């Protein structure tokens, strides 16, 4: 299906058949056009965009990845750009303009209708990952004394509010006092006043609330939109559920990428140098950890020279410690993010991880101990390897669970720091445990 | 705030002050009550539940984690259970009944109103992670010839459809032919027919479509609800956006947990044995990999005995390979899940990871090479360590990127298998590269 469409599109493009192309594009949803951009050349994308009306072109731009979009934006002058951003919701317009140069953004805003330009400029002031940054500054509000019939009449006239699900009720100062869903409005008697049918428990958030928290509220209360208020409780915008779905996915992706020391910006970076810059700090922490490990082994030089076979089991002991540490820290990092683990319940989580770690350490220790014994024909080596593995795994489970909890209580994002610290800490403790044990049993090992 | 509430609640519970407790609970949203359950004893939870009306009790149950809920469900008899599930939407009722024993579910269904019981039974047939499993079987539909006024009148009478945002238009056979948003309905003239104002491009999905795909459609087209149809295109239910938000978060959590070889069920497992059973398979693959690594090292016994210093750098070479492999595979696994990486673009992704890996290998190799040289005073050791690191990292990046792409094209979930296979493959190749290089330079190393 999707493949057929792109073939059809390419045919029209190759033939330069504008009429057929326009007709074809008219039938497509902006999200589908954006999807097809992945298989198109830069010039082809531009040709397609110019054939769309401004609103649709803007929606397509809104659907693109940041990297892809910025490439296109840099080739658009202020004039076509102003036509496009004027035709789309002001939150999307603000996102787009914050991605072009300051100079171009200013010129574009000057070319726009004043009222619309003001809305967009207002939105560009909020930091992008807050309620203010993702809100739409338009909404539909009426006073408490309005009747249902009057409200319906007013709604008929109001054409510009997108994704409208709720009618907000405000007092004289514009402060939020209630909310009425369209469903409720339709079901009510025509001469009812809004204050009689409105829900007074309106959930709202201030502009500076983090987008993750906004998403949490929308999910928790199953909302279609969240009212956004300023410092004085005055209604100034809405965050709609479609943007919240994007936030939920973005935040999850961000957490996943942070756990391996990179960033979700990575896929939109064009240059390898930028990708390396993102990933390298994490790797360098590990690298330093590795060099520390080498130093430790050097200090146990004599033990190692006496029993070369000890070296064979270094990777498996360190590796298993690393794995279990990753499991524990991942469970805790994600649990904290989704709210299934609370800082108040540290001891429960820790106790659970210790027991899990100890049991897995017992099993893995037994397996590798038997392997070491068979391997080398020495019971003592088996015992040393097995005990080291057991201790290393148990410690790794504790460190893995503790690190994100500690970071969280220090208000550091647990996702960003858990990975390298957990791995490095476990590498070093695993190695120390192994060599300390081996050295104390050295006369039975030789 | 939340802490104050729980203190207040506990006071009433301790005093046994039912009246105050009831009054207090009446003001709270079910989601807030469920949140407070985390800090309550089992008996306290039961007391609270019995004080709520059936609908609110059902909503609270719906908000709980599976583990917490099943504990409560097992202590409820069929009679109170039937009252509760009758009062809540049938999709939630089906979820709850599928968690109790078959016998209890049957008894509960028998005690329910026939129509409601049939709805719930119908839903219990679908597998839980499909469109059928998450849909609500009620919707609001009218024929094409209905006028707007008639539609509004019908809507006023219809009390039972929850979270209603769209009015579906169907033909004589119940097949979906269009959709009208409530917003559109209110804005239209009263004597318009639905066929004149409806959107004919209704997005819909069949009951057997995976929930991840359902979420994708809702997100892509910014829907409030997705129409669900049977094999004949007849409308039979809806998936609402609030359930989609849960799916997006669940799927992300699932992916994260799978990458470290566990499952999002882990947090609701009560017994450590069950947790270990979830995590162990992944660890055993790594364990076998570790034993293979030991075997390889044993076969390079002579090299190692000659130059004991070689052992010092085994952890850092294997560890760095592991890290870069995890980065590449995570980028690709998540990119595939969010649709930012397509199977059709394998070569682009691969080429990018190779170049990134090579550059990072160069930097890390140089650092560790210099460290090895300073450490041991031998340039050749530095060169061997640096080159091994460079090759191991580059290979790890390729393996890390390739493995999930390969699994995906084999229709195996890339998240589940990437972790252990990537780590194990990289451990072994890293070790081989290092010892092969070291052995060929052995006479300069000794």
Q: Please give the average per-residue pLDDT across A20-31, as a whole number.
A: 87
B216, B218, B327: best to mutate for the A interface, most A CBs within 10 A: B327
- φ and ψ of A233, to 5 deg: 80, 10
The total of other beta-carbon atoms located within 10 Å of residue B277's CB is 11
A165 has a pLDDT exceeding 80: yes
Q: Across all residues in chain A, what is the average pLDDT?
A: 88
- Are A255 and A333 spatial neighbours (Cβ–Cβ below 8 Å)? yes
- Are A197 and A188 spatial neighbours (Cβ–Cβ below 8 Å)? yes
Confidence grade of residue B1 (pLDDT, cut at 50, 70, 90):
very low
- Assess: ipTM above 0.95: no
Q: Which of B354, B355, B349 is nearest to B408 (CA)?
A: B349
- Are B115 and B100 spatial neighbours (Cβ–Cβ below 8 Å)? no
SS3 string, B256-314, reads HHHHCCCCCCHHHCCCHHHHHHHHHHHHHHHHHHHHHHHHHHHHCHHHHHHCCHHHHCH
pLDDT digits (tens, 9 = 90+) for B366-380: 999 999 998 888 889
pLDDT for A192 equals 93
CA gap B74, A261 in Å, rounded: 43
CA gap B57, B69 in Å, rounded: 12
CA gap B33, B37 in Å, rounded: 6
CB contact A1 to B (< 8 Å): no
At B159 the three-state DSSP class reads coil
To the nearest whole angstrom, how far is the Cα of A110 from the nearest Cα of chain B?
Answer: 31
CB contact A285 to B (< 8 Å): no
The total of other beta-carbon atoms located within 10 Å of residue A344's CB is 10
B3 has a pLDDT exceeding 60: no
Instruction: Calculate the alpha carbon distances from A143 to A167, A179, A183, B182 in Å.
Output: 10, 11, 18, 21
A1 has a pLDDT exceeding 50: no
Q: Percent of chain B at pLDDT above 90?
A: 35
**B302 class by beta-carbon count within 10 Å (0-12 exposed, 13-18 middle, 19+ buried):** exposed
State the residue for tokens 């391997």.
A375
Residues 6+ apart with CB under 8 A from B213: B205
What order do you get walking across the sheet with A176-181 strand by strand?
A141-143, A166-170, A176-181
Compare B245 and B162 and report the one with higher pLDDT. Answer: B245
pLDDT for B270 equals 64
CB contact A17 to B (< 8 Å): no
Q: Which of A171, A167, A153 is nearest to A225 (CA)?
A: A167
CA gap A320, A365 in Å, rounded: 10
- φ and ψ of B141, to 5 deg: -135, 150
The total of other beta-carbon atoms located within 10 Å of residue B238's CB is 29
Q: What one-character DSSP code corresponds to residue B233?
A: S
pLDDT digits (tens, 9 = 90+) for A62-81: 888 777 788 888 888 888 88
* Model pTM above 0.90: no
**B233 class by beta-carbon count within 10 Å (0-12 exposed, 13-18 middle, 19+ buried):** middle
CB contact A67 to B (< 8 Å): no
- From chain A, pick out residues whose CB is under 8 angstroms from the CB of B346: none
B391 has a pLDDT exceeding 90: yes
Q: Across all residues in chain B, what is the average pLDDT?
A: 88
pLDDT for B235 equals 93
pLDDT for B416 equals 73
CA dihedral (B368, B431, B289, A379) positive or negative: negative
B52 has a pLDDT exceeding 50: yes
Q: Please give the average per-residue pLDDT across A386-401, as a whole number.
A: 94
Q: What is the DSSP string of B127-157?
A: -TTBHHHH-BS---EEETT-BHHHHHHHHHH
- Are A232 and A171 spatial neighbours (Cβ–Cβ below 8 Å)? no
A227 has a pLDDT exceeding 90: yes
Instruction: Calculate the alpha carbon distances from B380 to A58, A284, A290, B41 in Å.
Output: 59, 23, 19, 66
Chain B residues 131-190 with CB within 8 Å of chain A = 152, 155-156, 159, 163-165, 182-183, 185-187
Residues 6+ apart with CB under 8 A from A5: A28, A32, A36
CB contact B192 to A (< 8 Å): no
pLDDT for B417 equals 62
pLDDT digits (tens, 9 = 90+) for B74-118: 888 888 889 888 888 888 888 888 888 888 999 999 999 888 888
To the nearest whole angstrom, how far is the Cα of B21 from the nearest Cα of chain A?
Answer: 20
CA gap A241, B134 in Å, rounded: 18
To the nearest whole angstrom, how far is the Cα of A206 from the nearest Cα of chain B?
Answer: 17
State the residue for tokens 């959930």.
A203
Structure tokens given for A48: 């397609």
Q: Tell me which residue in B152, B186, B272 faces A359 most closely, judged by beta carbons.
A: B272
Q: Which of B297, B138, B216, B227 is nearest to A249 (CA)?
A: B216
CB contact A293 to B (< 8 Å): yes
pLDDT for B16 equals 84
Chain A residues 404-433 with CB within 8 Å of chain B = 423, 427, 431
Q: Please give the average per-residue pLDDT across B417-427, as a whole number.
A: 80
pLDDT digits (tens, 9 = 90+) for B195-211: 999 999 899 999 999 99
Query: A154-163, A289-298, B26-35 — which one is most confidently predicted on average?
Result: A289-298
């Amino acid at each position: 299906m999707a493949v057929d469409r792109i073939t059809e599109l390419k045919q029209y493009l190759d033939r330069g058949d504008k009429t057929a192309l326009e007709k074809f594009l008219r039938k497509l949803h902006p999200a589908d056009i954006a999807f097809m951009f992945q298989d198109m050349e830069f010039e082809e994308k531009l040709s397609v965009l110019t054939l769309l009306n401004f609103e649709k072109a803007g929606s397509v731009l809104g659907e693109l990845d940041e990297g892809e979009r910025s490439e296109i934006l840099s080739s658009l002058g202020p004039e076509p750009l102003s036509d496009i951003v004027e035709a789309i919701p002001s939150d999307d317009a603000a996102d787009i303009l914050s991605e072009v140069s300051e100079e171009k953004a200013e010129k574009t805003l000057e070319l726009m209708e004043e009222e619309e330009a003001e809305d967009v400029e207002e939105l560009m002031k909020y930091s992008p990952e807050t309620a203010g940054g993702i809100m739409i500054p338009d909404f539909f509000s009426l006073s408490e004394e309005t009747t249902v019939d009057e409200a319906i009449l007013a709604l008929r006239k109001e054409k510009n509010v997108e994704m409208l699900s709720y009618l907000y009720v405000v007092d004289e100062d514009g402060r939020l006092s209630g909310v009425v869903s369209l469903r409720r409005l339709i079901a009510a008697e025509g001469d009812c006043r809004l204050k009689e049918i409105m829900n007074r428990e309106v959930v709202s958030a201030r502009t500076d609330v983090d987008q993750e928290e906004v998403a949490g509220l929308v999910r928790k209360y199953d909302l279609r939109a969240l009212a956004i208020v300023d410092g004085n409780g005055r209604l100034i915008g809405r965050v709609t559920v479609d943007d919240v779905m994007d936030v939920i996915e973005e935040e999850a992706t961000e957490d996943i990428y942070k756990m391996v020391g990179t960033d979700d910006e990575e896929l939109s970076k064009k240059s390898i140098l930028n990708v390396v810059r993102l990933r390298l700090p994490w790797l360098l922490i590990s690298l330093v950890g590795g060099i520390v490990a080498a130093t430790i082994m050097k200090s146990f030089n004599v033990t190692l020279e006496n029993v070369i076979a000890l070296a064979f089991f270094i990777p498996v002991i360190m590796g298993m410690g690393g794995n279990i540490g990753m499991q524990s820290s991942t469970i805790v990092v994600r649990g904290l993010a989704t709210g299934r683990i609370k800082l108040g319940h540290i001891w429960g989580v820790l106790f659970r991880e210790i027991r899990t770690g100890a049991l897995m350490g017992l099993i893995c220790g037994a397996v590798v101990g038997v392997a070491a014994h068979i391997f080398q024909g020495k019971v003592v080596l088996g015992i040393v390897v097995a005990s080291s593995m057991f201790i290393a795994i148990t410690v790794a489970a504790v460190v893995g669970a503790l690190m994100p909890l500690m970071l969280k209580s220090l208000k550091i994002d647990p996702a960003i720091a858990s990975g390298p610290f957990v791995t490095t800490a476990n590498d070093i403790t695993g190695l120390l445990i192994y060599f300390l044990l081996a050295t104390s049993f050295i006369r039975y090992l030789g």
